[in-house]
Structure 1
Amino acid sequence: MAASRSHLALSRRELLTRGLGVAGALAVGRSALALSAALPEFLALAAPFKIGIQSYSLRGYTKDGKADRAKALAVSHDLGVHFWEAYPAHIPMTDDLDQIRLIKDEMSAAGVETIGFGVIPFRKGDPANRKAFEFAKNLGVSYLSADPEPDSFDDLDKLVDEFDIGVGIHNHGPGHRYDKIDVIAKAIEKHHAKIGCCIDTGHFLRSKEDPVRAAEVFGKRVYGVHLKDVKDAQHFTILGKGDLNTHGLLRVLNANGYKGLVAVEYEENEKNPVDDVRACLEEVEKVLQAGL
């Protein structure tokens, strides 16, 4: 109907009024600073899928020569990020259930849920394949982003079916074995529907592939999205400053009924990425305000 609007096109203030109550919205409206701080609530209300980050974006925070999960979680909390695809250096794989419980408690205390994990390899006949799925189940993730050996798919067919955990093939850019949309599509076409693609928009742009077409081609077999921007197929940049059609991508994901994680991933400014990651999240907000 011409007179109606999708909730995705409502203003941030309208969404906050509906989602937080009038008192909360009035408090938010007192200053531009407060309104900016409400970004996470807006994203949670407006997005038909989960908006978060690939924690690789925060890899530059280290302690004793290792990725500092506590710092990465603190930064995520400050950004209002509630969802991670976890980079293995932040959450190393383990079969120690007590250690996994401690990690989950730490994540929960920071208000962050781990939706996905990766990128990890799979090899034919490797016992580590099952261990990865056991770890994923114990951690509570819904998918693994992966770089599987071409002869490992028969193993994966059985594991995704047994554990009901998706595997998204991650495209790593020019020269990688999975750098092209059609190559990935061919690799998965005769395999279990829980094996699909983790769309890395930046690497597809570097490979001169269209990420929007990737969302169209993979449809229900999208398991994870790494949302990043690239200019002229060469330079990683803040979302909205490169060649990614973010609106087109999110529109197709929404039309396909995607409910999973769209993880902002920022490659640059490794030592202090906070302002740039925030700018990327604000670009997602801008796209959502335009409506899908």
Structure 2
Amino acid sequence: MTTQNLITTRRSFLKAGAVGTGALLTGGVSAVMAESKKAVDQYGGFKLGLQSYSLRGYDAKNALKHTRDLGLHYWESFRNHIPVNTLPKHVAEQQKLLAGYDVKLMAFGVENFDGNETRARELFDFGKAMGVKAISAYPKKDNKTFDLLDKLVEEYGIAIAIHNHGPGSGYDKISDVEKVVKDRHPLVGACVDTGHYLRSNESPVDAIKRFGKRVFGVHLKDVKGYATDADAAAFIKTGKARRQLKNEQKFFTLLGEGDLDVVCCLQLLRQLKYENIVSLEYEENKDNPLSDIAICLDAVRKAVKQLG
């Protein structure tokens, strides 16, 4: 793609947005809204959706179909499903694809950011055209990058949600994110990946408390720690263990079967009046994750019932 193709006007993106809206209206917006409201209601008012990486074993159309079959209407996409491309034709095609399955794109990522303004604007331009609320991000830790992000979140009205990638990453601990967002624009904040914080021996509950209004994304996943090999063997026998992380003495597992306090996380998000997507992210069983995802969604519904 040429630089000329990358640099398009905001007017072009608004026009592309109108194309997508028209396609949705043609399909019967009232029916879509009614079904979406029902989906939101069963998750306690939260916009519960998928980080589409959970369905990376499928192409975009089949991933969207499975999303709808699971009763969900919200996506945080990764690049293999919704490629970042600012050409109006591409934007219109992606909007039409999503609208055809009654799925709304709320966020995308995780995207790397540095001081390259041209590339950063491509991501923000795409986000603006697609109507997203936040971009899940992994920014370089320097003033040039964060000065640029301060400027762009103000200009576009799109939040940057810094994603914690777990042990060994630049954003391993809660404090790693706190340090870089301190004194920055209010729209520069965090995407709380609950599973990766558990891997880092951090509390996702504490993360939500400490970030507060700077929480712009949530990846719900669960991890189970163990102290001894006997503990690990016992957990494997339950049938709830998935991928084992031996060096960390942990397992990825089904939501609600690990160390994550799902109820408390949701309660805190409700107190914050959190309105962005809550993305279930299930990374196991890439080729056939649907039954496990359904179990995870049931765990969310059960947690919601405990909120009162």
Q: State the TM-score, normalized to the length of structure 2.
A: 0.78
Measure, in 1, the Cα distance between the counterparts of 2:299 and 2:97: 29
Over 3 Å counting, the alpha-carbon distance change for 1:43 and 1:286 in structure 2 is farther
1:205 to 198, 201, 220: 198
Q: Does 1:44 align with 2:41?
A: yes
| 2:50 equivalent in structure 1 | 53
Letter in 1 for 2:72: V
1:109 to 82, 100, 104: 100
Instruction: For 1:123, give the aligned amino acid.
Output: D
Once the two structures are superposed, the pairs formed by residues 131-280 of structure 1 within 5 Å of their partners are 131-151=122-142, 152-232=145-225, 234-280=250-296
* C-alpha separation in 1, matches of 2:148 and 2:252: 35
1:229–1:239 CA contact under 8 A, matched in 2: yes
The 4+ residue runs of structure 1 with deviation greater than 6 A are none
Give the letter aligned to residue 98 of structure 1. K
- Alignment partners' CA distance in 2, 1:39 and 1:221: 26
Contact 1:88 1:118 survives alignment (8 Å): yes
Q: Deviations over 1:2-25 (max 9, x none)?
A: xxxxxxxxxxxxxxxxxxxxxxxx
Tell me the CA shift for residue 131 of structure 1: 0.8
d(CA) in 2 for partners of 1:259, 1:125: 30
Q: Is the 8 A contact 1:194 1:221 kept in 2?
A: yes
Alignment RMSD (CA, Å): 1.7
Question: Which residue, 54, 65, 70 being the options, matches 2:61?
Answer: 70
Question: Aligned pairs, how many?
Answer: 250
Aligned position for 2:301: 285
Q: Shift of residue 129 of structure 1?
A: 0.5
Deviations 1:81-126 (A, max 9, x none): 1000011111110011111111111111101000000000001134
* CA distance, structure 2, for counterparts of residue 216 and residue 290 of structure 1: 19
2:79/2:109 contact within 8 Å kept: yes
Letter in 1 for 2:70: L
SS at match of 1:90: coil
State the secondary structure of the residue aligned to 2:296.
helix
Native 8 Å contact 2:53 2:77 kept in 1: yes
Q: Which runs of 5+ in 1 are unaligned?
A: 1-37, 62-67
Q: Could you report, residue by residue, the CA deviation over 1:12-63 in whole angstroms, capped at 9, with x for unpaired residues? A: xxxxxxxxxxxxxxxxxxxxxxxxxx999364354232111100000012xx
**Secondary structure, counterpart of 1:48 in structure 2:** coil
Q: Distance in 2 between matches of 1:110 and 1:39?
A: 11
Amino acid of the residue matched to residue 69 of structure 2? Answer: D
> In structure 2, do the counterparts of structure 1 residues 250 and 127 end up closer, same or farther at CA, with 3 Å as the change threshold?
same
The answer on whether the counterparts of 1:40 and 1:80 sit within 8 Å (CA) in structure 2 is: no
2-structure distance, mates of 1:155, 1:43: 35
Contact 1:199–1:225 under 8 Å retained in 2: yes
Equivalent residue for 2:29? Answer: none
Instruction: Specify the alignment match of 1:27 in structure 2.
Output: none
Q: Is the 8 A contact 2:36 2:73 kept in 1?
A: no
- State the alpha-carbon separation in 2 of the partners of residues 94 and 253 from structure 1: 32
